[in-house]
Structures are given as structure tokens and as C-alpha cells.
Amino acid sequence: MAETKPDALLEVERMNRAYAAVFGEEGRRTTMQEAVWADLAMGSFEYKSMVQVTADGVIDPLRLAWNDGRRSMFLYIRESIRRATSPSQPNTVTVKKE
């Protein structure tokens, strides 16, 4: 008997495929998708430190938190695409059993 997936897991898989459709897969993106992806990577601190020091040498904790949130979203999108395009990698979701 085939095991059915919980609705929550099906929704995660659907969203992963949606992210892959919108942002494209690595090596298969359109020119426009590449432009958007490059902009997201630059704006999300993929290749640089999230820490920004003010002119007087102080690290701004609010800016750091803001930058961390931007980076977290970028990584979330990238991981969603990876899961959609690499079926051998498991999708994980916590399902509360009652």
C-alpha cells in the first residue's frame, strides 16, 4: 500500500516548485531570472558581511538584525529551489500528531 503524504508536506513541496518556477533553477534561468537572482544575492548579503559599522566605528544592532532577515529570506528561497529540483533531498516538515 502506498503511503500518502500529509497535507503539510504536500504544501511545502508545492511551494518549493513555485519558488523554482518563479526564480528558476541554477544553470537554467532566463536572462530576467538571472537579473533578479543577482539583485537578490547582492541585496541579501550573500557574499559580504551583514555587519555594517557606522562612521564612528559602532556596529548598528538594528541594521544587523535587518540584514540578517534579508539574508534569511534569500537562503530560504535558495533552499526551496534546491529541494524542488533535487528530489532525492528530503523535504522536512513537523506534523503535530494528536
Nearest residue to 91 (alpha-carbon basis) of 3, 24, 11: 11
Please report whether residue 80 resides in a domain.
Answer: yes
The total of structural domains in the chain comes to 1
Please report whether residue 45 resides in a domain.
Answer: yes
pTM attached to this predicted model: 0.74
Q: pLDDT tens for residues 61-83?
A: 998 999 999 999 999 999 999 99
Range of the domain at 57: 7-85
In the prediction, which pLDDT does 50 show? 82
Task: Tell me how far the alpha carbon of residue 40 is from its chain's centroid.
Answer: 10
- Lowest-pLDDT range of 2-6, 18-22, 33-37, 87-91: 87-91
In the prediction, which pLDDT does 1 show? 54
List alpha helices for 1-98, DSSP H: 7-23, 31-43, 61-85
- From the CA atom positions of the chain, what is the Rg in Å? 18
